[in-house]
Structure 1
C-alpha cells in the first residue's frame, strides 16, 4: 500500500459510476458479544475513544486528496462497528459534516448508523436525526431472554422494540431491526415471538441472519468444550422459512436473501452499493474499501491506525487489484442473492448450463428465467451458496 494512499489512475477514472458510499468503522463496544469476531475493542482493552472523530477526519482528508474531485457525490454513508452510538451524537455528526465538506452529500443521501438498543435514548436519537442521519439499524437479535444470554447481549428483551419506537418518534425515515436465528436453545416459539415483536415495532426493514460460529469467539470456545450444541442446518432452514412467511405476510418483501423491506425506499441503499459493485471508501481501523476494482483494508488496531495517520501515512495495510474474472465472480456471488438476480448473459457456457439445471431443480424462477435472468426461488434462497458455486466459472 503506497504511503500516500495513491490509487491507479484507471481506478479513479469512473468513481461513482455504480454509486459511491462512505463506510465509517467505530470499533468501540461496551462489551463483546460471544458470537462476534468483528474488529472491536472494549474499555478494558486499553483503547480510548477520545479524539477518535479527529483521527477519522484525518483519514478523510487523505481520502479527499487521493480521489480529488472525481467523486460525483456521496450517495450513502454507513456508520458501523462496534457500536457507533457509544460516541456522542455530536462526534458522529462532525464526521458526517466532514464527509459533506470533502465530497458533498447527495440531496437524497441515505445516512445510517448501527446501534445497540441500550446505547441510545430519545435525546440522543433526536440529536442524531438533527445531525443528518436518516436511517438506524438496531441489533435486536432476539426477544427471548435465554437466547440473549447465550449471545451475551446486554439489553432487555423489549428494549430493541422500544428503541425502534423512539427512533421513529425522533423522525428517522427508516428503521431496521436485526435478528439472529438458530442460537442454541432457541425454540420455534422463541423465534416466532421475535418476529412478532419486530413487526409490532412498526419498522420498515428487517434483517435476519443464521447464527454463524466464528473461530476465536467465546461462543465457538463454549461449543468446542461441549457446553452448547452447534447450530443445526435443518433448524436454520425452518427458521428462514418462518421469517419469510411472517415478514412477507406483513408486507415486507425480500430484496436480498437475508433482508426484507416494506418498500423500495426502505431498502438499505448502502448495502446495495456493495452488492452491485459500487465504490466506497472505508474509514477507520480495519475498514475495507473498493474503488474501480482496487480493494484495500486498513490496519486493525486503533492505536496503529492513529499512529500512521499522525505520521502523514495511509493507514492501509494491504490491497489487491481485482482481475476482470475476479470481478465477474464477485458480481455473480452478490447479485444472485438479490431479488433482481443477474442476467444469464453474464454467465459463461458452463454457467448457463448450471443455471438450466438449477431451473429444473426448482431453484430459479422460471418466469424470470424465460426473460433472461437468474432469480432465486424461495427454495433457491435456502440453497443460495450451492447455486452460486455451480454458476461460477
Structure 2
C-alpha cells in the first residue's frame, strides 16, 4: 500500500466529514476505520478514485457510529435517511484542519501531536516513537486534544501565525524513530502554501528548505555534531537551496516582511557563501536587526551577537552579548565562542565546559565538551 498516498488523503477526508457536520473526534475515528478497510480491500480491488472511496466509507462509518450512540437517539430519524455523499470536491479541505489542530485552546505539544495525527496522517505509534514517549502516553495526549477541539466552531478565519509556529516546532524535532519529522514538516508546509496565499507561509517553507539543505553535513559518521565552520559544503543540497531562494525572493517581493522571511534571508546568506569566512556577515547583522523589530526574543539577540562578532570583531560581539541575561540558554556557548575568537582561551574553555553542563541534549553536550577539550589540549 502507498503510505504517502494515505497520508496525503487523510486531512482532505477528515475536512470533508467535518464540513458535513461530523465533530472532529468522530470524523477522525471514522477516517481511521476507513483506512483499515482500505488496507484490507485495496490490494485486491483498488478504487479508481481513492479519495472519493475513503469519503464514502468514512461517512458511512460515522453514520453507523452515530446511530449506535445512545446519547444521540433523538437524531436517529434524521440519520436513518442517509444523505448521498455527493461528488467529492477538488478543493483542499485540509486547510481548516490546520487551524483546528493548532487551536489556541491546545498546548503546543498537543497541537503538534494532533497536527501529526490528523493533518500528516501519522499513526499514534509513529508519533510516540518520534517524541520518544510510550505509545499509551501519546494516545492519551491525542485523545485529550481531540476532545478539546471537538466543540470548536471554525466560523472565523484561523490564525496563520499559530499554524506556522506549530509546523516549525514539528520541523525542529528533526528525526527520530521511523519518521523524519523535518521532511514531514516540509511536506505539510508545501500543502499549506498550495492552499493559502500568504508571504509568511512561503517564508517558512523557504526557511525549512534552506535549513534542510545543510542537513547532510551537520553530523559526522559517528553521529556527532559538525559546526557550521567545519561543514563540508559540497554535501549541501544545492537543489533545495535554489528552491528555497526562489520561494524566498517571491515572498520578499510582496513587501510584507515577517519573522520567517527574515530568518530565511539569513539562512540564504549562509547558504550562498562558499566558506564561513566569505559569508556576508554585515548583511546578516542587518537582517537580524530587521528580525529584532519583529521579534526581540533572547534567541534572536544571542544569534545577533554571534553575527556582530563575525562582522565587527569578537569584542563588539561580546559587548552585544553583555546586554543580555547570562542565565539565558546558550549564553555560555556564545560567550565561549566569542572569547575564543578574542584569544582568551582559558576563559573560553571554562565557558565551553559550563555550556556543556547546561546543554539540553546529548549531542550538543558532547560537542561542547569536545570544544573545551580541544582548547585545553591546544593551550598546553
TM-score bracket for this pair, using the shorter chain length = under 0.3
**More strand, by proportion:** 1
Say which one has the larger Rg. Answer: 2
Higher relative contact order (CA closer than 8 Å, sequence separation 6+): 1
**More helix, by proportion:** 2
